[in-house]
Copies of this chain bind each other. A is one copy, B any other.
């Protein structure tokens, strides 16, 4: 229902407002947040993200549309931030509204799993040591 790639801080409340209707009894939201220990084991003090928006946005929309039917009726919004992020800032937000909570949980988890796999966005870890490296997502178990 709302898909965006932005340099601005993510606003979860506005994503929730975009998906909620009076038919929805459940809202599930996911935030991916910059954490001190990334996938490696060196402490980071920030990440930077880069995207190919002309491909990423249609892919985010496709994931949202798949998720909105796959488990039952659901409404999704997905936003990804790009640029430089500090510790504690959200890089990705998914909001899902549905009549019942089981569908909302399933659709939200599906959307973030698929986003990590399919959407052309890249992440660079900036370590406290001053070094930096591009970090691909681990393949799904």
What secondary structure prevails in chain A residues at the interface with B?
A: mixed
Q: Cα distance A84–B97 when bound, in Å?
A: 22
Smallest beta-carbon distance A116→chain B, Å? 9
A101 within 8 A of B: yes
How many of chain A's residues touch chain B, expressed as a range?
20 to 34
A77 contact set on B, CB distance < 8 A: none
Q: Cα distance A87–B88 when bound, in Å?
A: 33
Q: A12-B12, A25-B34 are in contact. List 20 more A-B contacts (CB 8 A).
A: A12-B13, A20-B88, A22-B35, A22-B36, A23-B35, A23-B36, A25-B32, A25-B33, A25-B38, A27-B31, A28-B29, A28-B108, A29-B30, A29-B31, A30-B104, A32-B101, A33-B97, A37-B99, A105-B105, A105-B108
